[in-house]
Structure 1
Amino acid sequence: MNPVSEQQAGEQSGEVLRRHLRILEALLFASDVPLRPSDLAPYLGEGVDIPGLLLRLQEVYAERGVNLVRRGEGWAFRTAEDLGFLLRREEHETRPLSRAALETLSIIAYHQPATRAEIEEVRGVATGKGTLDLLMEAGWVRMRGRRRTPGRPVTYGTTDAFLDHFGLERLSDLPGLDELKGAGLLSGRLPADMQIPLPLDGALRDDEDPLDPADLGDLEPEDEET
């Protein structure tokens, strides 16, 4: 290959890279939810290194007013952390979660996959009907599967929307127990010797069975076999 053709190849390669980055930028900017590489792949064709492109685009936006951040398996543009205060005046006032809902959400986050009975055991009180419904309607909690124990109770876990709302890249970024108590997210009813476990983030555990897809539309959070 002569020098001219090498230069042309380099220019073409650079142009393809810029085009791919622009496509990712447009798709992520237009989406109100984090997008996974599998969501982006149809727009870029086969053989494209999407994870590598996302990391490159993240570098481009590292010092800007908006940053490209990872939320679980998804990616999204979000306001830079040091500029978040500028947008507080635009936030709509929302009804805060009850203490029971906050405790339930925290326990699910740290103990997932967790059943309703396990949540109640940690809290020391019964979980009122509707608490799990509320968290699921918010999009922060999902039904994962069914535990392979008598009654086959439903197991619960958090979602990518939970990570996005609380500004977490992965579950391992969750704050420690002392931070949670200091923020008022956990009450004094919790056992004094409670330890923060490592939450499971991903596929079903060995002691879980998948939910029947045909039942997902009708299955309620409190609908556990007895």
Structure 2
Amino acid sequence: MSRTAPRIDLFDVRPDDERAVALARDLRIIEALLFTSSQPLDAAALAAQLPGKTDIEALMEILGADYARRGVNIIKAAGGWMLRTAPDLAHVVAAGAVEPRKMSRAAVEVLSIVAYHQPVTRAEIEDIRGVSTSKGTLDVLLESGWVRLRGRRKAPGRPVTYGTTPAFLVHFGLDALQDLPGLDELRGAGLLDGRIPQGFSIPLPSDDAGLRDDEEPLEKEPLDLALAPLLAPLEDEE
């Protein structure tokens, strides 16, 4: 049985009820922090602003339940919490807003591949898509802040590996990559052909920031010692 978060009226707390006063104070502080932040705030960031130790998850459950009936909701995104317009009112907020430039189909495909298959190289993206991928497509995704350079594959040529960023999670309202739709959800939404090949599966995405065993850090290429004299500054001749 799921636990129902208690309703707290922040404006109707008896002054002599110290526990209720402290709870209301903590909720108001969190509310103010979320309102003034453009990025998700995690438990550590919220706890650092509260006077004493408290259960952040329990506080967010209370505050989230209260905001669930409002025009602005509290959602979990990228491991933290943030305020976002209630889904059923999105069309109201969007009315009159400047329509952002839409991504090309190629960019959407590449972004999807990076999200589900990361860490992934450009060659691996092209192998999955079945067509070549222009550098401009990846540049657009890098500039958007949704894709980042992770490292280099431990393979001939040391190709760069790509992965998603916290900004990607925030934009799509995801707490973690594991919240991306699976096979059944994609099929139910009509995004997959009903005639799926036998054995077809969708990889379990992971946004672990650490490099994997087949990756190495993005670092400057080692200087060829044979070229060092050519790169050294020339001294003035006497």
Normalising by structure 1, report the TM-score: 0.76
Q: Which runs of 4+ in 1 moved over 4 A?
A: 176-183, 191-194
Matched length:
202
Contact 1:33 1:76 in 2 (8 A): yes
CA distance in 2, matches of 1:104, 1:181: 20
CA distance in 1, matches of 2:21, 2:176: 33
CA distance in 2, matches of 1:17, 1:180: 42
Does the C-alpha gap of structure 1 residues 19 and 196 become closer, same or farther in structure 2, counting only changes over 3 Å?
A: same
Deviation, structure 1 residue 16: 1.7
Deviation, structure 1 residue 37: 2.3
Letter in 1 for 2:209: A
What's the RMSD between the two structures over aligned residues?
A: 3.0
Which secondary structure does the structure 2 equivalent of 1:90 belong to? coil
Does the C-alpha gap of structure 1 residues 209 and 54 become closer, same or farther in structure 2, counting only changes over 3 Å?
A: farther
CA distance in 1, matches of 2:119, 2:23: 41
Deviation, structure 1 residue 45: 4.9
Does the C-alpha gap of structure 1 residues 86 and 66 become closer, same or farther in structure 2, counting only changes over 3 Å?
A: same
Contact 2:47 2:53 in 1 (8 A): no
Is 1:133–2:144 an aligned residue pair? no
Does the C-alpha gap of structure 1 residues 46 and 162 become closer, same or farther in structure 2, counting only changes over 3 Å?
A: same
Deviation, structure 1 residue 193: 6.8
Structure 2 unaligned regions, length at least 5: 1-13, 221-238
CA distance in 1, matches of 2:136, 2:57: 39
Bigger mean CA deviation after superposition, 83-92 or 48-57: 48-57
Bigger mean CA deviation after superposition, 18-27 or 195-204: 195-204
Please name the residue that 1:4 is paired with. Answer: none
CA distance in 1, matches of 2:34, 2:146: 21
Deviation, structure 1 residue 46: 6.0
Please name the residue that 1:56 is paired with. Answer: 62
Bigger mean CA deviation after superposition, 110-119 or 42-51: 42-51
CA distance in 2, matches of 1:166, 1:139: 13
1:25-44 aligned within 5 A: 25-44=31-50
**Which is greater in Rg?**
2
Contact 1:141 1:159 in 2 (8 A): yes
Bigger mean CA deviation after superposition, 83-92 or 37-46: 37-46
Letter in 2 for 1:19: R
Deviation, structure 1 residue 181: 9.1
CA distance in 2, matches of 1:134, 1:46: 44
Bigger mean CA deviation after superposition, 33-42 or 94-103: 33-42
Please name the residue that 1:163 is paired with. Answer: 169
Please name the residue that 2:25 is paired with. Answer: 19
Deviation, structure 1 residue 108: 0.6
Letter in 1 for 2:113: I
CA distance in 2, matches of 1:155, 1:210: 10
Deviation, structure 1 residue 164: 2.1
Please name the residue that 2:72 is paired with. Answer: 66
CA distance in 1, matches of 2:30, 2:87: 22
Deviation, structure 1 residue 85: 1.9
CA distance in 2, matches of 1:52, 1:130: 45
Please name the residue that 1:146 is paired with. Answer: 152
Normalising by structure 2, report the TM-score: 0.73
Larger relative contact order (CA 8 Å, sep ≥ 6):
1
Bigger mean CA deviation after superposition, 194-203 or 173-182: 173-182
Deviation, structure 1 residue 192: 9.3
Which secondary structure does the structure 2 equivalent of 1:199 belong to? coil
1:105-120 aligned within 5 A: 105-120=111-126
Which secondary structure does the structure 1 equivalent of 2:38 belong to? coil
Does the C-alpha gap of structure 1 residues 192 and 32 become closer, same or farther in structure 2, counting only changes over 3 Å?
A: farther
Percent of aligned positions with the same letter in both sequences? 56
